[in-house]
A and B are shown apart, each in its own frame.
Chain A
Amino acid sequence: MTDYLLRVEDVHKNLGGKEILKGASLNMHKGDTKVIIGPSGAGKSTLLRCINLLMRPDSGRIFLDDEEITGKHVNLSLVRSEIGFVFQHFNLFMHLTALDNVKLGLVKVKKLSGQEAESNAARALRDVGIQDTLFRNYPAQLSGGQQQRVAIARAIAMEPKIILLDEPTSALDPELIGEVLRVMEHLAQSRTTMLAVTHEIGFAKNVADEIVFMDNGAVLETGTPADLLANPKHERTQRFLGKITELYGVKRTGA
């Protein structure tokens, strides 16, 4: 009996002939916020998709609340409804209003009544800063930042045990990134269990309990933001951090 909420043990995944995940392992306590960084092709997104079972690992095991979700007779729908997922490209349901986007899961999966679903959905939307006046807008009528925040609302309305975020700001115009990061920081501060793949080092520094560096299909190094960013142990970590501090202008040494 561990007190880890999420345990990922030695996951391997082959995609199109290439081995993308080569024994990735990860553990999270309830309330943790962890950020995964690493070069492209390292398998970060693949790992996330294995956790919420959009993909099935070829080998290795994943436990949610001490129950193995990679087992044979697992109820996929049930597990997925307990894991929230926010996509890089939002993936909002284009034919539904913002409110209905958040309501759909509540009605169809959690079987809430229409009224209850509507009030829960409205609350989730307000939590991410979407005003009531936008509730009846369709995704195509919302800005990228608003769409992603609706996507986050869609995930949190399901009251999941953990929320996974796959590069949630990478598809956003620069001036819209801030509003989404603020929502994410707010979530982290309210002790939501979050696992995010992102390049936003600032976010990691501010709220992450741990940064996980992945390279070549496995976790190479982990540490608190203070430790990892200032004193990375592996050379590859150093190289990667060097490249992105150039890009994102985050100072590695000092405050």
Chain B
Amino acid sequence: MNIQFESILPYLLTGFYYTALLTVGGLALGFAIGATLAFAETYLPRPASTVASGAEQVLRGIPLIVVFFLVYFGLPYVGIVLSPTVAAALGLGLRSGGYQSQIFRGALESIGVGQVEAALSIGMSKSSAYREVLLPQAIRLSIPAWSNEFTVVLKDTSMAYAIGVAELLKQAANIVALTLQPLEIYAIVAAIYFIATLVVSRTMNTAYEKWKIPGLGGGAR
């Protein structure tokens, strides 16, 4: 079992770079989509809330690989040609948006409507109430489930393999094609993912411990 680390390291680093890129891009887009959908579903009247709910269901009901293909092949029809990497980030963001919406909705629901009523009752405007009362709590309550979503997106970047993005798994497959050592290479890559998810969950855990609302538990865990 001899592996020439020096030669494979650059590939792995490039792969990890793309993996990280996809993860951050996907999460950020997912956050924007998820927060919007969650807000719309909880606080807007119909038809906006039903449309948002439908969108959430659709985003959560389609496998990631299919989303990748739809984005990658579909957007050129509308005149947008994307590189596989951007298409993958977009696909990850869409899927994550559906799941983050569910997370934020759960947080909003567990906060309940009473505190917003109380804020209105002392004369705060609706936007002020959302900003000062709802948002700080929604963010804190979402952290546990959100840190889970972080690791899910991180792992799902491996599926960008399907559209040829040069992320970690694709690099691994390339290396294996050259060195013919699938066990060692894939095991190393598995270890890299493992360490990455470990670091992410530990960091988010510490953040949660620091920021959680005293006396209350977190959201879904």
Which residues on A are within 8 Å of B, measured CB to CB? Answer: 52, 54, 76-85, 87, 89, 91-95, 104-105, 108-109, 138-141, 151, 154-155, 158
Question: Are the CB atoms of A95 and B118 closer together than 8 Å?
Answer: no
| A141 neighbours in B (Cβ, 8 Å) | 214-215
Question: Are the CB atoms of B114 and A91 closer together than 8 Å?
Answer: yes
Question: Are the CB atoms of B133 and A93 closer together than 8 Å?
Answer: yes
| A155 neighbours in B (Cβ, 8 Å) | 121-122
* Complex: A104 Cα to B125 Cα, angstroms: 13
Residues 184-221 of B contacting A (Cβ, < 8 Å): 213-216
Total A-B pairs in contact (CB under 8 Å)? 80
29 A-B pairs whose Cβ atoms sit less than 8 Å apart in the complex: A54-B117, A79-B123, A80-B120, A80-B121, A80-B122, A81-B122, A82-B123, A83-B121, A87-B114, A87-B121, A89-B114, A91-B114, A91-B115, A92-B115, A92-B118, A93-B115, A93-B118, A94-B111, A94-B115, A95-B140, A95-B213, A108-B124, A108-B128, A138-B214, A140-B216, A141-B214, A151-B118, A154-B118, A154-B122
**Is B136's CB within 8 Å of the partner chain A?**
yes
> Which range contains the number of B residues in contact with the other chain?
20 to 34
* Complex: A192 Cα to B119 Cα, angstroms: 22
| A154 neighbours in B (Cβ, 8 Å) | 118, 122
* Complex: A85 Cα to B124 Cα, angstroms: 13
Question: Are the CB atoms of A54 and B215 closer together than 8 Å?
Answer: no
**Is B151's CB within 8 Å of the partner chain A?**
no
CB distance from A199 to the nearest CB of B (A): 20
Q: 1/0 per position for B136-150, CB-CB distance to A under 8 A?
A: 110010000000000
Which residues on B are within 8 Å of A, measured CB to CB? Answer: 111, 114-115, 117-125, 128, 132-133, 136-137, 140, 213-216
CB distance from B71 to the nearest CB of A (A): 38
CB distance from B125 to the nearest CB of A (A): 5
* Complex: A141 Cα to B212 Cα, angstroms: 13
- Cross-interface CB contact of A105 among B114, B117, B122, B215, cutoff 8 Å: B122
Question: Are the CB atoms of A105 and B123 closer together than 8 Å?
Answer: yes
Question: Are the CB atoms of A109 and B122 closer together than 8 Å?
Answer: yes
Q: Which residue of A lies closest to B133 (CB)?
A: A93
Q: Which residue of A lies closest to B137 (CB)?
A: A95
Question: Are the CB atoms of A81 and B215 closer together than 8 Å?
Answer: no
Question: Are the CB atoms of B118 and A85 closer together than 8 Å?
Answer: yes
* Complex: A89 Cα to B114 Cα, angstroms: 8
CB distance from A138 to the nearest CB of B (A): 4
Q: A94-B216, A138-B214, A140-B216 are in contact. Are A105 and B124 (CB under 8 A)?
A: yes
| A158 neighbours in B (Cβ, 8 Å) | 122-123
CB distance from B144 to the nearest CB of A (A): 16
Q: A87-B117, A92-B118, A94-B115 are in contact. Are A138 and B124 (CB under 8 A)?
A: no
| A52 neighbours in B (Cβ, 8 Å) | 121
* Complex: A158 Cα to B123 Cα, angstroms: 9
| B125 neighbours in A (Cβ, 8 Å) | 77
CB distance from B52 to the nearest CB of A (A): 22
* Complex: A74 Cα to B122 Cα, angstroms: 16
CB distance from A162 to the nearest CB of B (A): 12
Q: Which residue of A lies closest to B111 (CB)?
A: A94
CB distance from B132 to the nearest CB of A (A): 6
* Complex: A78 Cα to B120 Cα, angstroms: 10
* Complex: A82 Cα to B121 Cα, angstroms: 9
* Complex: A151 Cα to B118 Cα, angstroms: 9
* Complex: A240 Cα to B111 Cα, angstroms: 36
Q: Which residue of B lies closest to A85 (CB)?
A: B121
* Complex: A94 Cα to B136 Cα, angstroms: 10
- Cross-interface CB contact of B123 among A87, A92, A109, A139, cutoff 8 Å: A109
* Complex: A78 Cα to B123 Cα, angstroms: 6
Question: Are the CB atoms of A77 and B123 closer together than 8 Å?
Answer: yes
Q: A91-B114, A95-B136, A95-B137 are in contact. Are A138 and B213 (CB under 8 A)?
A: yes
Q: Which residue of B lies closest to A52 (CB)?
A: B121
| A108 neighbours in B (Cβ, 8 Å) | 124, 128, 132
| B117 neighbours in A (Cβ, 8 Å) | 54, 87, 91
Question: Are the CB atoms of B124 and A77 closer together than 8 Å?
Answer: yes
- Cross-interface CB contact of B215 among A76, A77, A140, cutoff 8 Å: A140
Question: Are the CB atoms of A140 and B213 closer together than 8 Å?
Answer: yes
CB distance from B45 to the nearest CB of A (A): 14
Q: Which residue of B lies closest to A101 (CB)?
A: B118
